[in-house]
Chains A and B, each alone.
Chain A
Amino acid sequence: MSHDKAAKPLFERAIVRRAIGESFRKLDPRHMIRNPVMFCVEVGSAFTTILFIHAAATGNGDASPGFILAISLWLWFTVLFANFAEAMAEGRGKAQADSLRKARKEVMATRLAEAKRDAAREQVPSSQLKLGDIVLVEAGQAIPTDGDVIEGAASVDESAITGESAPVIRESGGDRSAVTGGTRVLSDWILVRISAEPGKTFLDRMIGMVEGAKRQKTPNEIALDILLAGLTIVFLLVTVTLRPFSTFAVEQQGAGAPVTLTVLVALLVCLIPTTIGGLLSAIGIAGMDRMIQANVLATSGRAVEAAGDVDVLLLDKTGTITHGNRQATAFLPARGVTEAELAKAATLSSLADETPEGKSIVALGKSKHGAAIEVPEGATFIAFSAHTRMSGIDVGGRSIRKGASDTITRHVGGALPPEVRTAVDDVAKRGATPLVVSEGERVLGVVRLEDIVKAGIRERFEELRAMGIRTVMITGDNPLTAAAIAAEAGVDDFLAEATPEAKLAKIREYQAGGHLVAMTGDGTNDAPALAQADVAVAMNTGTQAAKEAGNMVDLDSNPTKLIDVVTVGKQMLITRGALTTFSVANDVSKYFAIIPAAFAGTYPALSALDVMHLHSPTSAVLSAVIFNALIIVALIPLALRGIKVRAAPAAQTLRRNLLVFGLGGLVLPFPFIKLIDVALAGLHLVA
């Protein structure tokens, strides 16, 4: 799977070629019936084809054979264009499914009789492994199917699933124990307990998803289908009743001829919402596809759509809002000590400190004060131990220590100087961690360690707020620290000293208030909260329990992606809504083209409605039909890419979309129908 989603062109030649073939295969009425609007067009196409055959054979048909044929062909094109849009959307997923299938090939697995490496073993094909079986996977072997590591640790290449080439560590216990079938062990060995039945593995689900095989209509799609079916019924009635109305008018007026069946079918197809009807499933598939491009695997389209409705995001502080490791940001010296002196001492004491905190002290000392990074001769490093709870260095008679304030207080055997005490409190209040540095019995000062808030996250939250989404930070920190970070990151609310129970309670509390909650999680203890949340994104690195409780899995294990998930959900809805509005607004122009044309013989006065001054009645009807077909093709890129979601309040978004797609849909067809009409007349294609 590729990560360079931006680079992927919309119309790849191979996909287009396959889609063209597919659009003919999809003409099968059993497939078409699923889409009532386009089914209606197909029936109309078939009907006009019969009218054409009848007219050509008898020479006394519904209208001139040439005209019927032209209408009939363009109606078939309308159906094909809609099928093409759907096939294009599916095609992108199918290509991915093919590469996934390669990873799913049958392998021989080493099944053990019991959970011991040296237990009796037998070779079985991976497809025959059952739930609870224990297999041994050694370096170079593929993991036969999904499971949990129960013994051992290994580096695993998961690029087949995630596209990430760097190997990951999988080990028993903890939150890194889940392995996926189709991935490969690179080094060491692991014992895996199988956790998926054959055919129901993660890879199977993923293939099903990208192929759209198990695609169910989402609730909003169903509601929209009802609206579209309603509109189709109305327009069916309008056109069906127009025939007797027209016959009556001809009788009364004694002039002209009743409107032909060909024109009625043309009018019907122009009026029913073919633009949205033709692109509806493409929009849905493309939405799922965008999720997959973002390396998020949703268990259902319903989940993606629900993401668009989410109005509360629970975000883990670590990794999502902050970088997750505390870093030194300031040296706060005691009285009589220069900042450089403190920096030097702190740097010296941290030279051998491999923790991120230690490294950051060295980095800060070097950048701010050019403190030495050379390890002095004869130095003894004192590593951090649970017993002393300090680390430091002994060199040349100097004994430098750093540690938490209470530890150092005890170490120096007395109270901290008042200004150091104040500095310690200030740092703690700001949500940072104070580290006190001492040399011998003298306290040198404080190093401030801060959890750095990610750049740009504040703006991101502001955007979300504008869209009406609340952000809630979840952290294990104490309330004081949590409040400080929350203020810095600009979240709306926070949950400090969070336990799994507290998380669950918070979600329930929001849901009781009518909110829809999204969260991310990876640990087994996150599972209840994930199951409770409306949209739950589990990290792929997480445990099997977490993955099963969530309704999406993020293959990149990037918690920030929750925000993208929400955007894709919204995008799907907006694209549908905008195209529906556009489709219905188009109808006005088509009336102005077809009605005067249909009744020109009976009521010449109605030509006052022919505001486009079209060439002839035949040309008017044909131009409207051609426009109706071409607009589907023109909008395929929009349907596949989705409409850009802007961070703006609902009213503003609506005003914008109404203007663009409502007013645009009302006005746009007039010049284009006229243009087609001029072209048809200019090329002498119509009478």
Chain B
Amino acid sequence: MTGVGIAQLVAFAVVLVALAIPLGGYMARVYQGEARWSQRVLGPIERGLYRLCRVRPQEDMPWTRYATSILWFSLFSALAVYGLERLQASLPLNPAGFDGVPPNVAFNTAISFTSNTNWQAYGGETTMSHLTQMAALAVQNFLSAAVGMAVLVALIRGFTRRHAPGIGNFWVDLTRTTLYILLPLSIVFALFLVATGIPQTFDHQAAIATLERAADGHPQGLALGPVASQIAIKMLGTNGGGYYNINSAHPFENPTALSNFVQTVSILLIAVALCFTFGRMVKARRQGVVILIAMAVIFVPITLVTTWAEQQGNVTLVDTGVDQVASATQGGGNMEGKETRFGAAASALWATSTTAASNGSVNAMHDSFTPLGGLGPMWLIQLGEVIFGGVGCGLYGMLLFAIVAVFLAGLMVGRTPEFLGKKIEAFEMKMATVGILMPSVCILIGTAIAVATTAGSSTIANPGPHGFSEILYAFSSASGNNGSAFGGITVSGDFYTIALGVCMWLARFIPMIAVLAIAGSLASKKTVPASSGTLPTDGPLFVFLLVGVVILVGALTFLPALGLGPIVEHLSI
């Protein structure tokens, strides 16, 4: 690894944490109804929305009602996106005159955006009208993120409440998240992105006279649109669905090294901040920090290995005499599929950030990473998207692992396990197991069906282990609600649009229901006071245990599959 690579990682961590601490505190105040300043400004809008939608904000929902509200809301959202996609040809704001989106792609996209996955079986600038981008996709970027954060907050209430029948009000959590957190952040961020050169316009293209086309008088059209506003929430809400087909590798979506750095930070910003929010809300700040450290303990080594693997360059090019060494004039390393304005280190950091968080935006082609460089990001997804993870869902997923870790630890010290004063019993274990298993079930079964059928295996571009990796990555990405593409595989056919759509939906909502069930069960329990017989969950030992459980589950579940993909590919070259 080069010095620049290390410096970048350090700067990244410092800026990220420095921004996340105040944001985490602010979010805790929002959810506890203590953000006075913003309530004064935005409160009237909030109350107006409740009146408009006939929501009773005082209503305290039991977990079942909270869950059904989410399911109905998400189903309605998916139908709305589907409708807008299919009908875009006859709707306004379609300057490029795109046709309606084909049914299978529209289905896939509708689920993809409502499940916060943002897997894209289409090229944005050649498929979606401005209206679809703005009213369907960008709206879901906000709402799907807000749903994830709402579920997290409901789970936190489960920990803090005693003998309580309810876990909060979904509509209030959804509204507050969007109005007080996501919208203000996105507006500021979008303005910054415009300043770095990202377009924000209703024009559909800029005509550029290129050298090649100058002779025949046909200028090349560069697709434009309301890009900055969409990119802001795409990054912050761990959505990752690009305006352009090649996502943040596109110069209009991510023009400079500065925009790249800030966008990388924004991938993890809310997920990291939520750890602090969690600590504040459960009145145990160390607990939040400890979970953040556990995430970092997994994230940093994988990032280092990925960066190292990419900066090493391509082994097979060594014999050809290609200069891949970093020097004053070039970044060096494996530059296949990477943008020269970012280089290997910034691409590797983005790759691990976007897969650790279930963001899924890319600034380089993961398919072209070295086998080892591609292994890290893929495994980060397969760990269950809990290393930072998607906004809200990453942390609640990690808390499911924490419940399992605490259960094991409790048995090992001879006490019915407790976490934050709540006894972890059979019901919580059942739900935590379901929540943790669901994505793995989707990944393994999906991949198995794909490799066993012609429909699944015929569209891969590379033979051998790499082709297997491409399929495995696609199902991992969809089932982890990540949305990034390894690439090298055509996914707009019926098989992949439907199979991946099913995976995205199941892997999003089944764990979510399990988490809400746990929240409801915890809220109804009494709180047990800590003693020296209680296992402390805010120290290094717990970090070790939590990391161990996450790694062990991830390794044991995926070692054989990874062995037949990136590992054997790495060993073979």
Contact = CB atoms under 8 A, between A and B. Distances in A.
A238 interface: yes
A537 B557 CA distance: 46
A240 interface: yes
A449 to B, nearest CB: 37
Contact of B426 (A219, A233, A571): A219
A514 B421 contact: yes
Contact of A513 (B445, B451, B529): B529
A576 B411 contact: yes
Contact of A245 (B410, B426, B448, B533): B448
Nearest to B571: A605
B571 A244 contact: no
Nearest to B162: A514
B305 to A, nearest CB: 17
Interface stretch (B13-21, B41-49, B274-282, B433-441): B433-441
Given A219-B416, A238-B444, A252 B464 contact: yes
B467 A470 contact: no
Contact of A580 (B411, B413, B445, B563): B411
B426 A226 contact: yes
B413 A248 contact: no
Given A245-B561, A247-B452, A234 B568 contact: no
B447 to A, nearest CB: 7
Interface string A240-254: 111011111100110
Contacts of B563: 595, 599, 606, 609
Interface string A641-677: 0000100011101110110011000000000000000
A515 B415 CA distance: 13
Given A226-B426, A650-B532, A248 B571 contact: no
Interface SS of chain A: helix
B110 to A, nearest CB: 28
Interface string B389-430: 000000000000000100111111111100001001110111
A224 B411 contact: yes
A605 B564 CA distance: 10
B207 interface: no
B206 interface: no
B414 A653 contact: yes
A649 B407 CA distance: 17
A587 B553 CA distance: 11
A605 B425 CA distance: 45
A246 B447 CA distance: 12
Contact of A248 (B468, B539, B557): B468
Given A220-B416, A253-B464, A606-B568, A240 B533 contact: no
Interface in A571-621: 571-574, 576-578, 580-581, 584-585, 587-588, 591, 595, 599, 603, 605-606, 608-609
B564 A658 contact: no
A158 interface: no
Nearest to A267: B560
Contacts of B533: 311, 467-469, 649-650
Interface string B447-466: 11101100001000001110
Nearest to B466: A252
A223 interface: yes
Contacts of B526: 514
A587 B416 contact: no
B539 A241 contact: no
B552 interface: yes
Interface in B452-505: 452, 457, 463-465, 467-468
B271 interface: no
Interface SS of chain B: helix
Contacts of A595: 559-560, 563
B297 interface: no
B426 A651 contact: no
Contact of B412 (A305, A577, A606): A577
Nearest to B421: A514
A237 interface: yes
A578 B424 contact: no
A160 to B, nearest CB: 34
B572 A570 contact: no
Contacts of A466: 532
Nearest to B552: A584
B529 A599 contact: no
Interface in A463-489: 465-470
Contact of B560 (A233, A242, A570): A242
Given A223-B426, A248-B452, A605-B571, A580 B408 contact: yes
Nearest to B558: A238
Contacts of A247: 451-452
Q: Which of A224, A229, A249, A584 has the most CB of B within 10 A?
A: A249
A249 B560 contact: no
Contacts of A248: 451-452, 457, 468
Interface in A436-466: 465-466
B437 A230 contact: yes
Interface in B529-548: 529, 531-536, 539, 541, 544-545, 548
B560 A605 contact: no
A87 B506 CA distance: 43
A669 to B, nearest CB: 14
Contact of B564 (A309, A573, A599, A653): A599
A521 interface: no
B532 A249 contact: no
Contact of A606 (B415, B434, B571): B571
A515 B407 CA distance: 19
A223 B407 CA distance: 9
A244 B468 contact: no
Contacts of B553: 234
Contacts of B408: 227, 577, 580-581
Contacts of B445: 237, 241
B564 A249 contact: yes
B413 A574 contact: yes
Nearest to A308: B414
A275 B116 CA distance: 40
Contact of B541 (A219, A585, A654): A654
A271 B428 CA distance: 24
Contacts of A271: 556
Given A227-B407, A573-B414, A591-B556, A650 B534 contact: yes
B220 to A, nearest CB: 39
Interface string B510-528: 0000000000000000111
A373 interface: no
A657 B155 CA distance: 30
A113 interface: no
A343 to B, nearest CB: 47
B463 A252 contact: yes
A603 B572 contact: yes
A469 B415 CA distance: 11
A635 interface: no
28 contacts: A220-B425, A223-B428, A233-B437, A235-B556, A238-B556, A238-B560, A244-B452, A245-B451, A245-B561, A248-B452, A249-B564, A467-B533, A468-B531, A570-B415, A573-B411, A574-B413, A578-B412, A581-B408, A581-B412, A599-B564, A603-B564, A603-B571, A603-B572, A606-B571, A609-B567, A650-B536, A654-B409, A657-B413
Given A235-B556, A245-B448, A605-B568, 17 more contacts: A226-B426, A233-B437, A241-B448, A244-B448, A245-B560, A247-B452, A467-B532, A580-B411, A584-B556, A591-B559, A603-B568, A603-B571, A606-B568, A609-B563, A650-B533, A654-B409, A654-B545
| Minimum-distance CB pairs A-B, first 10 | A468-B533, A577-B411, A570-B414, A230-B433, A468-B531, A577-B412, A248-B451, A241-B448, A605-B571, A468-B532
Interface of A: 219-220, 222-224, 226-227, 229-230, 233-235, 237-238, 240-242, 244-249, 252-253, 271, 305, 308-309, 311, 465-470, 513-515, 569-574, 576-578, 580-581, 584-585, 587-588, 591, 595, 599, 603, 605-606, 608-609, 645, 649-651, 653-655, 657-658, 661-662
